Amino acid sequence: MPTAIAVTSTDLVLPPADPNTPQAAVLPPPETRPLDASVADMQQLLARYGHVVVVCPTAAPTAVEHRLHAVRALLESDRIALVKTDLPPLGAAVLVRQLRQLSGCDFSPGVLASAARLLAHYIYAGAVLGSVSRLDRVPVSLGSHLKGWLPGAHFAVLAGPTPQIVRLGSRSGSGSGAGGEALAGPEFATELLLARGQLQTDWPTTTLVPRWRIPGPVHEAPLPASSPGWWGTGKLVEFAAYLPDLSVLYQLVSSVRRETCHWCGMELIGDRCGFCSAPLPPAGPPPPDPGGRAPGPGPQHGGRTLGPGPQADARTRALGPGARSARAALP
């Protein structure tokens, strides 16, 4: 039985990557749905799928997150995962589609929920903006902020994995930034998805595609309704480069070591449970060898501990002053 992937907005639902990609369940906004109806909707999903992973952008209204927590609390269910993402709207939609693809595989609900943080690091989400004067979700320098008021200024902005802002040349089709700087791209094969707003520019297709060595065709989707608010302007072209192949996504997730959450018992990858958000406890000392004797405190003479001896002290001094605290520095 596949795990249900639910979203808080229709903006997060892209067309399926292939006929086998499951659909996402759209949870209506709180202002259009009473609480008891939202509880009933979630009960139906749990009855049909067993577990539900809800993807909620951090930019979503506070009322949306409050409704999700209220529904989970009223149901007293540990089978609902609330996954938050900092990705911009188009990148978040790509992440949701990747989770939909993986939900049909043999991953447990806990692995699927915690995989969202891993997959987000492989989505290069950004936009070409006509102004950055109102952009507050990506760090903007004072110089870029002032240049954003100049007529005809265009900026290429990367929100993740590493935030970056590059002012384009006098023409938006120029190959790199005004200072020769270029957006850092992925070092693996990707596809590009575009969503066009009010900005007239072909920079993503004429410059970004060859620079990032994107081999396949460029796909387009309608601009999410929340994109102008996220980017601070409606004059934009949003883009996201991502891993499209399900086999690559499967290998990426399955290659990570799996752990068991010490709090709720769900399977997880990474350092935090996707269902209860409990962090993975630090690794303890290795278990003692059952076949050998535990080492004593050191040589003894007349009931008095003499310590490890001068040879051991010499070895420690040869390793440097950090040798004694090396174990404490391990994660």
Does position 273 have pLDDT exceeding 90, yes or no? yes
Q: Average pLDDT in the 192-207 region?
A: 96
Q: Which segment of 90-104, 119-133, 162-176, 256-270 scores lowest on mean pLDDT?
A: 162-176
The confidence score (pLDDT) of residue 307 equals 42
Rounded to 5 degrees, φ, ψ at 168 are -75, 165
Does position 195 have pLDDT exceeding 70, yes or no? yes
Of 125-139, 221-235, 283-297, highest mean pLDDT: 221-235
Q: Average pLDDT in the 4-26 region?
A: 96
Looking at per-residue pLDDT, the higher value among 179 and 37 belongs to 37
The confidence score (pLDDT) of residue 95 equals 98
The confidence score (pLDDT) of residue 290 equals 61
pLDDT category, 223, cuts 50, 70, 90?
very high
Q: Are strands 164-167 and 155-160 parallel, antiparallel or unpaired?
A: antiparallel
pLDDT category, 143, cuts 50, 70, 90?
low
Does position 330 have pLDDT exceeding 80, yes or no? no
Q: Average pLDDT in the 103-128 region?
A: 97
The confidence score (pLDDT) of residue 319 equals 34
pLDDT category, 171, cuts 50, 70, 90?
very low
Q: Average pLDDT in the 72-92 region?
A: 97
pLDDT tens column, 47-59: 999 999 999 999 9
The confidence score (pLDDT) of residue 139 equals 83
Rounded to 5 degrees, φ, ψ at 118 are -65, -50
Q: Which residues contact 261 (CB under 8 A, 6 or more apart)?
A: 110, 267, 268, 273, 275, 276, 278, 280
**Residue pair 236/199 in contact by the 8 Å Cβ criterion:** yes
Token pair belonging to 305: 């501990």
pLDDT category, 172, cuts 50, 70, 90?
very low
